[in-house]
Amino acid sequence: MKLKNLLYAQSGGVTSVINTTAAGVIETARASKKIGKVYAGKNGISGILKEELIDTSQESDTQIKNLKYTPGGAFGSCRFKLKDPKENPNEYLRLLEIFKSYNIGYFLYNGGGDSQDTTNKIANFTQTSGFPVQCIGIPKTVDNDLPYTDNCPGFGSVAKYIAVSTREAALDVESMSDTSTKVFIMEVMGRHAGWIAASSSLASEENDGPPHIILFPEKKLLQRKFLKKVKQTVLRNGYCVIVVSEGLRDYKGNFLSDSGKIDAFGHKQLGGVAPRIAEMVQIKLGYKCHWSVPDYLQRSARHLSSKVDFDQAFAVGKSAVEFCLNGDSSVMPVIVRLKTKKYSWKIGKVKLSKVANIEKKLPSSYITKDGFNVTKKFRTYVEPLILGEAYLPFKNGLPINANLKNKLVKKRLKKFS
């Protein structure tokens, strides 16, 4: 009997360890004698619809190993939302055609909430179409907003990067604050959930150290209260460090940085909240401000990835393949925190129908009563996730990254529009 093949793809915003997950998938599948070829979709589901499939068997074991040290999405990612199959079945029929033509028995989609929705829809469609494909969603998002998993692969490394960057920037600002910048604002990712902004609190081992103010999407900005806090902080310390989520809202509930555009998933595109905050402080208080937006740097900083995050990212990829071999479908591996004195975890699983399109926001118990910082409960949650260093191999002073061929298979089907 001919072995079924596996198709893996990446979706949504990438992370510093998403390729570690890819390595977990490929290495585990290669070690199994029950899986045929491992294909990767070029640029996620959009590439699969175009029959752009990468034959990973062309890649050496060394290059697959190097994936673990490579940020970005090695096979290309996308923001592409499948329509409901009842409204537009053409995309699903095309995917079914691809699956049949390439003898795909396993489909693994690595992404966030929207991607889990895509995986679930595909699983249901193939089941009712008489060609069931085992579909496994693999968690990934720096936003840490997937439910049922204790944390999301990608988040621990971003948390580490933001905490380190906040501490280093604070030392810089403090040293120059007497005659120069008084207020520094750093804008971090987080449209609806403030997990990344909250992680900046780890920069300080004391409650009153920088960042002095954290602005969360879960809390509306009350301008007068905020400016009073800034002024008090500058008078007390000589300077003020602020970390703000890109999704900060005003007192009416509107994004402060709404650009007026939407992305492929229907989410509003945000245009930069840090300069808005800086302008507000300069006009109202007269302090010299400086702002910064790490943007893609925060999610691609593989040189500063957390070892815990690295291990968990590999584990969810490995487990996804093992789920396939055990006959599972329409599920996602999750990270389960164990109730032990020293931080420990294991892999569990949850049905995709429970995960799709659901966002896990920062609990109110993690935010201080004044709305400007985090509680000890949050620090207890996040501190283990940034532990350890996932060291990189270097050559000539620069990291060694994977150098993949990404050779596409010869197309067999008609062009799809």
User: Which residues are CB-contacts of 118 (< 8 A; sequence separation ≥ 6)?
Assistant: 11, 45, 81, 82, 109, 111
Q: Where are the beta strands (DSSP E) in 42-161?
A: 53-55, 104-111, 134-139
> At residue 255, what is the residue type?
F
3 state DSSP class of 89 = coil
User: Strands 398-399, 394-395: parallel, antiparallel or unpaired by DSSP?
Assistant: antiparallel
CA–CA separation, 12 and 46 (whole Å): 11
Active site residue 143: yes
> Which is the catalytic residue, given 143, 145, 309, 328?
143
CA 122-128-131 angle, to 5 degrees, is 75
Measured between alpha carbons, how far is residue 410 from residues 3, 50, 52, 80, 322 in Å?
A: 20, 12, 9, 24, 29
Interacting residues of 222 by C-beta distance below 8 A, sequence separation 6+:
251
SS3 298: helix
- For the annotated catalytic residues, the residue numbers are 143
